[in-house]
């Protein structure tokens, strides 16, 4: 079948601002949106820029806005979206070219929340023990692939890019609720800040956007509540 695709193009070397380009593509309903982008790039306009790698939803490269919603282009099939298909870069981060945005501030926010296990006690020669129940407390947030679909769907983030954003809080959650970690207090102090977890207005956009099905808003609420337990 023929599919009409509109892509928001921007080339900083030739364009002053972004503009829509229309493409009519021969496509199979079972193909991924990413396959459509490849058709444009490989057989129509080689200059189209987008990130991609694994092509099955685990590397987090190809978050973009498709028909107004954040998703991974490799995780959605043509038959699941209405036509014409409108594809834009994720919002709130500076566009470098076409569908590629500058991710620096996103990763800076991630690094701010100490996204690593802190435990200075001598672990011994074997693994630290952890019950399946304790392991389950942070199962959901271990799934994050740092694609930025959540953070760039957040209306608070759009207006205040100093907000650490949902993805950073998700990655803090992953350690705050890990029974092996000893730095919850420091992390929660960071998230108590004016640009921390309480900036969240529970719009739930992040939860809808997460391609890994993480209950992002719930994780943020968990962190907010935990923040109230520290002095």
Partner 1 sequence: MKIIKHSFDGVIVGAGGAGLRAAIEAAPHMKLAVITKLYPTRSHTGAAQGGMSAALANVEEDNWNWHAFDTVKGSDYLADQPAVDILCKEAIDSVVELEHWGLPFSRLENGKIAQRRFGGHTVKEGEAPAFRACYAADRTGHMILQTLYQKCVSMGVTFFDEFQVLDIKIDDGVCRGVIAYEVATGDIHIFEARAVTFATGGFGKIYKVSSNAHSLTGDGPGILYQKGIPLEDMEFYQFHPTGIYRLGILLSEAARGEGGILRNKDGERFMERYAPSIKDLAPRDMVSRAIATEISEGNGAGPNNDFVYLDLTHLGAETIKQKLPDITDFVRTYVKIEPINEPIPVQPTAHYAMGGIPTDVNARVLSDASGTILPGVYSAGESACVSVHGANRLGTNSLLDIVVFGKRAGQSMVDYVSSTKPMELSDNAAEDLTNKIEKLIEKDHSLEFSVPRIREELQDSMEENAKIFRTEESLEKQTKILTDLRDRYQNVTISDKGKVFNTELLEAIELEYLLDMSDTTVASALHRKESRGAHSRVDHVERDDENWLKHSFAFKNGESVKLEYKNVELGNYEPKERKY
Smallest distance from the beta carbon of 155 to partner 1, in angstroms? 25
Cβ density class 172-183: b for 16+ within 10 Å, e for less: bbbbbbbebbeb
Nearer to partner 1, 178 or 226 (CB): 178
Nearer to partner 1, 98 or 222 (CB): 98
Can you point out the beta strands (E) in 41-99?
Answer: 63-66, 69-72, 85-88, 95-97
Smallest distance from the beta carbon of 142 to partner 1, in angstroms? 5
> Residue 152 has what DSSP assignment?
G
Nearer to partner 1, 46 or 68 (CB): 46
Binding footprint of partner 1 on the chain (CB under 8 A) = 11-14, 30, 41-43, 45-47, 49, 51-61, 75, 77, 96-98, 100, 102-103, 107, 111, 114-119, 123, 125-132, 135, 138-139, 142-146, 175, 178, 180-181, 213
Nearer to partner 1, 166 or 200 (CB): 166
Smallest distance from the beta carbon of 97 to partner 1, in angstroms? 4
> Residue 77 has what DSSP assignment?
B
> Residue 35 has what DSSP assignment?
H
Cβ density class 103-132: b for 16+ within 10 Å, e for less: bebbeebbebbbbeeeeeeeeeeeeeeeee
């Amino acid at each position: 079948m023929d599919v009409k695709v509109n892509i928001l193009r921007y080339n900083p070397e030739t364009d002053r601002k972004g503009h829509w380009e229309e493409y009519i593509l021969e496509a199979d309903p079972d193909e991924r949106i990413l396959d459509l982008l490849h058709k444009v790039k490989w057989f129509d306009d080689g200059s189209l820029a987008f990130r991609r790698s694994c092509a099955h939803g685990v590397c987090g490269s190809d978050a973009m806005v498709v028909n107004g919603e954040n998703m991974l282009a490799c995780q959605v099939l043509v038959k699941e979206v209405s036509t014409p298909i409108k594809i834009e870069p994720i919002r709130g981060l500076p566009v470098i070219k076409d569908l590629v945005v500058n991710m620096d501030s996103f990763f800076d926010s991630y690094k701010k929340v100490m996204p690593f296990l802190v435990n200075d006690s001598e672990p011994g020669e074997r693994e630290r023990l952890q019950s399946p129940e304790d392991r389950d407390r942070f199962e959901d947030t271990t799934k994050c692939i740092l694609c930025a679909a959540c953070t760039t769907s957040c209306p608070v983030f759009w207006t205040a890019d100093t907000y650490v954003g949902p993805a950073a809080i998700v990655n803090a959650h992953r350690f705050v609720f890990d029974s092996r970690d000893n730095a919850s207090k420091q992390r929660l102090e960071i998230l108590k800040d004016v640009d921390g977890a309480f900036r969240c207005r529970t719009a739930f956009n992040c939860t809808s956007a997460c391609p890994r099905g993480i209950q992002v808003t719930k994780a943020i609420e968990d962190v907010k509540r935990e923040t109230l337990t520290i002095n």
